[in-house]
Amino acid sequence: MSMVERRNLLAFAAAGLAAPAAAALPRPALAQAPWPNRPVRLIVGWPPGGSVDTIARILQPRMQEALGQPIVIENKGGASGSIGGAEAARAAPDGYTWLLAYDTTATNETVMRLPYKTPEHFAAVSLVATGPLCMVAHKDTPYRSFRDVVEAAKRKPGDISYATSGVGGLAHVATTLLQQQGGFRLDHVPYRGAGPAVQDAMAGHVPLFMSNVVVISQHIKAGTLRPLGVTTPGETPHVPGVPSFAQQGFGGFEAPTWWAMLAPARTPAPVVARMHEALAGVLLEPETKAKVEEQGADVVASTPEECRRFIQAEIEKWGKVIRDNNIRADS
């Protein structure tokens, strides 16, 4: 081992993470018992009540049947999903720890100083689903359209507040891009997850909320929250009748929210393939697919390579917006 490799290994050890495969020491072979032969841990980097937790719990019962072992969901909320990400990144790559990642996995790469790098410390398994973000207003606000928000914000820059599930998440960064393109300014109110944010939005403590539809669909249907615009290129069946931001003068604007299954890097390829097979099978079952889509998301069930390329593209796209607008974890 060269001196450079030794230094790199020591640096990763100090951070509590596994080194990249190129610097890895030889490892003993996995036990011969077929995987999985004990409970499997699925880390959700968000509190209960948010979209990641919701989708994890839709998948859990059928994944348990498909794999023949319990799936134990562990909520490790905080720091826009990065606490859960760090927990999964330093887990043994033995197939017994997985991460249900959210769109903040991409934005965190630029917003934060993470103890891991997603492309290096995770193996992609599948893009689970994508969906629209939607900006909603409390029913008692005067905002009947997104144009109303823009005009009011231009009259009094920074006077109107909007909530998101956290600093640097896709909802925050996408709304920042809207403001940049439209020449107006809102006041960002970040929460520690979508669960607490939606509670305050429903109570009217914050007038606007940008979120994935999974969290807010039932409140839109109940009339408590009024949808003003979606981040798909055109209208979406998940929020029928609501124009996209692209259709409201923000040409080319698109910001899909997403969920993906990841494994710690160097998880054996046969184990990743088995998990992908089980997950894809469950996602394409009509009942599971319908449950996910009822929440406001579209099942994807991609290949591992498609998932890897998608996440890399999201890191690059939103990284530029974050740098251009000087968005930081403490902003």
Question: Which two tokens mark 183?
Answer: 């020449």
What is the tens place of the pLDDT at every residue in 47-58? 887 889 999 999
What is the tens place of the pLDDT at every residue in 149-186? 999 999 999 999 999 988 888 999 999 999 999 999 99
| Per-residue pLDDT at 33 | 72
Cα-only R_g, the chain: 20
Q: What angle do CA 104, 108, 109 make, to 5 degrees?
A: 125
Q: Are 229 and 243 in contact (CB under 8 A)?
A: yes
In this structure, what DSSP letter does residue 244 have?
Answer: B
Q: What are phi and psi of 83, to 5 degrees?
A: -65, -45
Q: What are phi and psi of 150, to 5 degrees?
A: -60, -45
37-130+256-324 against 133-248: fold identical: yes
Give the Cα separation of 210 and 136 in Å (integer). 6
Q: Are 131 and 257 in contact (CB under 8 A)?
A: yes
Sign of CA dihedral 262, 266, 267, 272: positive
What's the predicted TM-score (pTM) here?
A: 0.83
CA 250 to chain CA mean position, Å: 23
Neighbours of 10 (CB within 10 A): 11
**Domain segments of the chain as ranges:** 37-130+256-324, 133-248
The domain 37-130+256-324 having CATH identifier 3.40.640.10: the answer here is: no
| Per-residue pLDDT at 78 | 85
Tell me: pLDDT of 9 over 60. Answer: no
CA distances in angstroms from 212 to 97, 130, 255, listed in the order given: 26, 10, 10
**Who contacts 304 (Cβ-Cβ below 8 Å, separation ≥6)?**
123, 124, 125, 126, 272, 276
The CATH fold of domain 133-248: D-Maltodextrin-Binding Protein; domain 2 (3.40.190)
Average pLDDT, the chain: 90
